[in-house]
Structure 1
Amino acid sequence: MFDKLEDLLIRFEEIMSELNEPNVANDQARFRKLMKEQSDLTPIVEAYKEYKKCKQDIEDSLLILDEESDEEMRELAKEELNDAKARTEELERELKILLLPKDPNDEKNVIVEIRAGAGGDEAALFAAEIYRVYVRYAERQRWKVDMMSVNESGIGGFKEVIFMINGQGAYSKLKYESGVHRVQRVPETESGGRIHTSTITVAIMPEAEEVDVELDMNDCKFDVFRASGNGGQCVNTTDSAVRLTHIPTGIVISCQDEKSQLKNKDKALKVLRSKLYELEVAKKHDAEAEARKSQVGTGDRSEKIRTYNFPQGRVTDHRIKLTLHKLDAVMDGDIEELIDSLIAADQSAKLAKMGEN
């Protein structure tokens, strides 16, 4: 590990030297590449420099304890020694986490697809509520939300909703949300006061660039139709809505959120690219089944990941056996504690896996 850290430190100094060259800004592609590499290495290099300083502090404190007879100086040295040892242990763990292989998609925007599952109208209502959870969470992160497609139910719920969240690191935070979300509560339509269980599925897909997916436009069939539902003057008057069918996979995407047919077509293609990219990633995951066992679930739509129990005001994440008694806050987009706990559990599982090898 320390050989690798020394190599990264040397590389970091090389990058800083290159960035100080007068002509580097003339080559924008090279400049961006160096800035990205510098940004990626900075937290590792800073932690490693602090680690080296702590190791030096330990040596200095031990030297004072060997040579010093003054009791007050010895007490100070012991205190500094204990602090430096404790911080060294913390930094070793931090460095191991920083050196874990990065998910290449972590910095990407995400496309979120929420679908009502078992439970009819109640599931559709819960799908709309979970959509609002992610919108509120995105607002807290200062991320931008862009609606792609929505299929509403008659009572204010969503049978299906697809939207994009634009923000640095969005995928790194939200990728753990994929799977089945279960709600337990008394529906408003239930007169007998019985608790019902309904489900929705959430899929979190990294936004796929054109370089990520080769898309043959001959495989795509576009149909246009008139948008329906709430909207301005263009609704029901122009053929602005777009239905995209990907013939090889049978994937169908409808977009009618924009007034422009061209914009709806562009959105549909974005969703299709991300779905095709997700299929590719799923194939790789299946091929690396052993690697997946060392990770907290991130992507299997059939995996039941979380239960929202309204009568008891609690949320339970089944993958890490975490229960929080703050359902109201969670439903208002305060999901940071859940996400941070999932990231920590994932890192611990990967570190344990590394220790076995």
Structure 2
Amino acid sequence: MVGCFACFKPPAGEEEEEAPLPSTSRRRGRSLRLSRSSTRAAGEGGGDAAAAAASSNVVVDSSSRARAFTYGELSAATDNFRAECLLGEGGFGRVYRGRLESGQVVAVKQLDRDGAQGNREFVVEVMMLSLLHHPNLVNLVGFCADGEQRLLVYEYMALGSLADHLLLEHNAATAAAAEGQQQPQRAPLSWETRMRVALGAARGLEYLHETANPPVIYRDLKSSNVLLDDALCPKLSDFGLAKLGPVGDRSPRVMGTYGYCAPEYVRAGTLTVKTDVYSFGVLLLELVTGRRAVDSARPAAEQLLVAWARPMLRDSKRYRELADPLLREDFPERDLKQAVAVAAMCLQDEASARPLMSDAAMTLEYLATEAAAAAASAPPPSS
């Protein structure tokens, strides 16, 4: 599993004050009162001491959709956090499937109290998802700050993460080949689905960068943070590393996931919205190639996706070589080339040369529309 870089720890213990609201949330009539410590946690990367002090000061007003749960309510919802309800585990802690008294199915993320980043992530995520709302951002149902317990409650995303689908497809294909079968046990994501997922992720980032005021730098875009509902609609999740502007800030220590971080961020800690654009380029490349951003199971020269793809990205005549073999060439070559060209622009070494997410989304909207029309007009598969 690819881990996140460690976070730095700024001073804590400053007095409480009202945090400025993103303008999009103010128009909706929602507010969130945070201590100055928690604002620093969002603005500078946070620290465990500051976040621990701030977490108890998080107050969401009655117009917000986020609900404060007791630990007992969430324990009952997950059948006392039974192993059978476990959906997965990450840097924050374990995620369980639960059912509230209302009947709503939810995902409950429980803070690992021994983790290095959990309290900070809790504060930042409650703040961000209470203020920011978009169809391509996961919805925060509520939270629990009961004693030492820290839990987050999200809408349930039935189809898991994009990483699950890409990885399981190739695992199935490998197993089928080993057993002499002709095809994997389940169909891979179609070209149309991949373009729809790319467009949804792009729109989520566009909202964070160009609609929210101040802009939000997501900082941890990766395939495991793109969740899919039962209609394969993508939603960005895990906002624990997100940061409010300003543009051009410098982070004392890099926070993010290896394989997705922009070169200027790794070298000098320079953090802008274009840092996210680079990460989106990696994600789009994953969708096109079916490969993981970092895959230690591959030969040494192919383990880092961007390094492996770079020679092909520099030569448009080689774009076709990047297509996932599991697609079986079931895509328009022109559309493949346009998708790869978008990825190549997003992966420019110079941040200023990368496009805005609105520009990338515009191209991907065209590609997704074309793919949907082609899928609708295709003859049904023969039985």
Query: Shorter chain as normaliser: what TM range?
Result: under 0.3
Q: Which protein is bigger by CA-based radius of gyration?
A: 1
Return the TM-score normalized by structure 1.
0.24
Return the TM-score normalized by structure 2.
0.23
More helix by share: 1
More strand by share: 1
